Copies of this chain bind each other. A is one copy, B any other.
């Protein structure tokens, strides 16, 4: 191993062997038009013969001041992160937008809902950072600022001097709540996403809402309440369960709590499709038919939503557009563009089979 390293040929090795300068060998790889074809072939042949695999990527990065990668920061570990189907779709769109084959994707998993460690960010070889739905007190964000790296924030939080892609969360939630209210539901419960990254879940107190670190959750909550308020349903009368993560299991748990309340909600608004699918499961387990006795609404419109039984009524956000926009913003930031105004992805309500008029 060590010997390998020592023996590893460099541009100079090839140059000496061929009898040209290092610059010429470099040109053979990066600017074929700068030298004659014959010489280039001789160089490449010699390189192959010596087992030289081309310019070292790290050295090249140092010289060009381009790390050649995009860092993507996640709130959680990979497993929980990718159990969120919305993320995969978004990330795929992002990577195919950016990946000209030149750039790779550096994944910085989060530690326990708090996002990546500051040190991971300090040591990351990257030109630009994309943060995906981090809490507003994530240490990683401070590290990005310290390094003065261009930053694109997806969803949340607000960070000064960064570009941002967000979704009309409040508007989407408003549509969802208005829909069930219009169907006559007056007892409505909410299964929400996290308010803080502390892993705490359960019925939500007003204080906890005040100390929230996730803007998206607050926005969706506000949208729900606004629409329900218009029907004279007060916020106090709307039970709200916080799920500590976006997993079916947690939606199921929250819904089970809601269904045990008196009066039992006839409609459940969920802040994600995964939570909603868990809620449907909970209803089934309690012998409540969906949508006969309980209506359930999701958020995101992931593929699983239309696959579900019954197909899920949900708020659609264009995940591909979101990823593409994030990618384009990142590219633009790389070119030194100013952050500009946040890009907002629109939403609309997909009415399917999981909601019905109250009986």
A residues neighboring B (CB under 8 Å): 1-2, 4-5, 8, 51, 53-54, 57-62, 65, 67-69, 71, 77-83, 85, 87-89, 91-93, 95-96, 99, 101-102, 104-109, 117, 119-120, 122-125, 146-148, 248, 281, 307, 335-336
- Residue among B4, B78, B93, B106 making CB contact with A148, cutoff 8 Å: B4
Residue of B nearest to A118 (CB): B101
- Complex Cα–Cα for A336 and B1 (A): 5
Decide if A104 touches B92 in the complex (CB within 8 Å): no
- Residue among B92, B95, B109 making CB contact with A105, cutoff 8 Å: B109
- Complex Cα–Cα for A109 and B78 (A): 16
Kindly provide the distance from the CB of A277 to the nearest chain B CB, expressed in whole angstroms: 9
Decide if B104 touches A120 in the complex (CB within 8 Å): yes
Residue of B nearest to A3 (CB): B336
Interfacial chain B residues near A117, Cβ < 8 Å: 101
Kindly provide the distance from the CB of A336 to the nearest chain B CB, expressed in whole angstroms: 3
Decide if B78 touches A95 in the complex (CB within 8 Å): yes
Interfacial chain B residues near A67, Cβ < 8 Å: 57-58, 125
**10 smallest A-B Cβ distances: which pairs?**
A1-B336, A79-B92, A82-B88, A78-B92, A53-B147, A105-B107, A53-B146, A57-B125, A58-B61, A82-B82
Decide if B78 touches A101 in the complex (CB within 8 Å): no
- Complex Cα–Cα for A93 and B120 (A): 18
Interfacial chain B residues near A60, Cβ < 8 Å: 123
| A91-B65 CB under 8 A given contacts A4-B148, A109-B105, A125-B57 | no
Interfacial chain B residues near A58, Cβ < 8 Å: 58, 61-62, 67, 125
Decide if A107 touches B107 in the complex (CB within 8 Å): yes
Interfacial chain B residues near A120, Cβ < 8 Å: 101, 104
Kindly provide the distance from the CB of A274 to the nearest chain B CB, expressed in whole angstroms: 12
- Complex Cα–Cα for A335 and B71 (A): 26
Most buried by B among A53, A89, A104, A119: A104
Decide if A122 touches B78 in the complex (CB within 8 Å): no
| A51-B123 CB under 8 A given contacts A89-B79, A336-B1 | no
